[in-house]
Amino acid sequence: MIQYLIRRLLWAVALMITVTAIGFALFYLVPSDPARQACGKSCTQAQLTIIRHDLGTDRPIYVQYGKFLGRLIPFSFTGGPHFKTPNLGTSYYNSNESVGSIISQAAPITMSLVFGAVVLWMLVAIPIGILSALRPRSLLDRTTMFGVLIGVSMHPVWLGLLLLYFLSDRVTWFPVGGYAGLFSSGGLYGVPTGPGQWAWHLALPWFTLAVLFMAIYVRMIRANVMEVMNEDYVRTARAKGAPESRVLRQHILRNALLPVVTMLGMDIGLALGGAVFTETIYSLHGLGWWTVQSINSSDTPTVLGVIVFATTMIIVFNLIVDVLYAWVDPRIRLS
């Protein structure tokens, strides 16, 4: 177990360096000047030189990237070895606000959106996929497959606009957009807070983000259950007189849902990336919304900060999934 965690930690460090290096290189290759955007059209050459020096963009790319990695390392040898707080830098265009502060405000919004969508699509996909597999070619199965075809064809932007028009504009059952805090006492942009308001404001975004994954998981669970039902050990259990409920619970579902656990870890990462469409439609100022704004303004520190946070979350989720996989299936060992 210890060796496995050490290997995963080394892999995480290598992945972090690779991803951030690619992001840094892309910004370096794009023909944009953060100093000019920060200074404006009436900026003189002398002012541009000063701003470039203050931002550090006048230095070679390897020096800029080295300083970025140095801020991420949680320990320092200056004045003796000691631990320090990792620093993601300062935003170029958000009033010199720290990137860590921006992420701390945006991350709860994105995490609320993604985890709510995950719970929704799993609560729907698991029972529907199982029932559809147990009654193949029935009316339920045919209706489910038709719904799956529609679900995988819906783009979040198109679906979000439809939901906003019919359920927020025409009948006003849901708010048009914005985010309500779950526990905070203030409220964002004057929006009341609390669990009820939080769920009410996120209901449509949850559904919008979950529909595609919901359809994919229904089809995957249905196929897995039907495949496991034809295995020899299932027929043997039935031949020995085991109750059908026990066969379904201990032999069919436990093996059929193993691939679902693996896919879930990867799809949470995909949902983090796909949340940008949903956040834009519903005016949710999460990580995806900030990424789009930062790319448009060449705000390299904010984009790299979001990349670091998202990569860390994906690594953590996949580690949790690996541990759960070994716990669910005793035949698999982490070593």
Q: How far apart are CA 178 and CA 114, in angstroms?
A: 16
Q: Per the domain annotation, does 192 fall within a domain?
A: yes
Q: Which residue has the higher pLDDT, 3 or 275?
A: 275
137 and 45 co-located in one domain: no
Q: What is the percent of the chain with per-residue pLDDT over 70, rounded to a whole number?
A: 89
Judge residue 305's burial from the number of C-beta atoms within 10 Å of its C-beta, 0-12 exposed, 13-18 middle, 19 or more buried. buried
Inform me whether the pLDDT recorded for 142 exceeds 80.
yes
Same domain? 240 vs 311: yes
Structure confidence at residue 81 (pLDDT): 67
Shared domain for 185 and 267, answered yes or no, is: yes
117 φ, ψ (degrees, to nearest 5): -65, -40
Percent of the chain whose predicted confidence (pLDDT) is above 90: 18
Same structural domain, 108 and 142? yes
Q: What is the mean pLDDT of residues 234-261?
A: 86
- Whether residues 39 and 107 share a domain: the answer is no
Q: Which residues pair with 76 in a beta bridge?
A: 82
For 64-119, what is each residue's pLDDT tens digit?
A: 888 888 888 777 666 666 677 778 888 877 766 888 888 988 998 999 999 999 99
- What is the number of structural domains in the chain? 2
Find the mean pLDDT for residues 31-49. Answer: 73
Model pTM score: 0.83
Same domain, 184 and 66: no
Model confidence at 189: pLDDT above 60:
no
Angle among Cα 183, 294, 283 to the nearest 5 degrees reads 45
SS (H, E, C) 153-222: HCCHHHHHHHHHHHHHHHCCCCCCCCCCCCCCCCCHHHCCCCHHHHHHHHHHHHHHHHHHHHHHHHHHHH
Q: 186 pLDDT band (50/70/90 cuts)?
A: very low
Do 176 and 41 reside in the same domain of the chain? no
Q: Can you give the residue range of the structural domain that contains 324?
A: 99-328
Identify the DSSP state of 238.
H
Question: Where does a domain end: 83, 112, 131?
Answer: 83
Q: Are residues 50 and 105 in the same domain?
A: no
Spatial CA neighbour of 93 closest among 281, 303, 272 = 303
* DSSP 3-state percent helix, strand, coil across the chain (nearest 5): 75, 0, 25
- Does any domain span residue 333? no
CATH number at residue 128: 1.10.3720.10
310: helix, strand or coil = helix
Lowest mean pLDDT among 1-10, 29-38, 145-154: 29-38
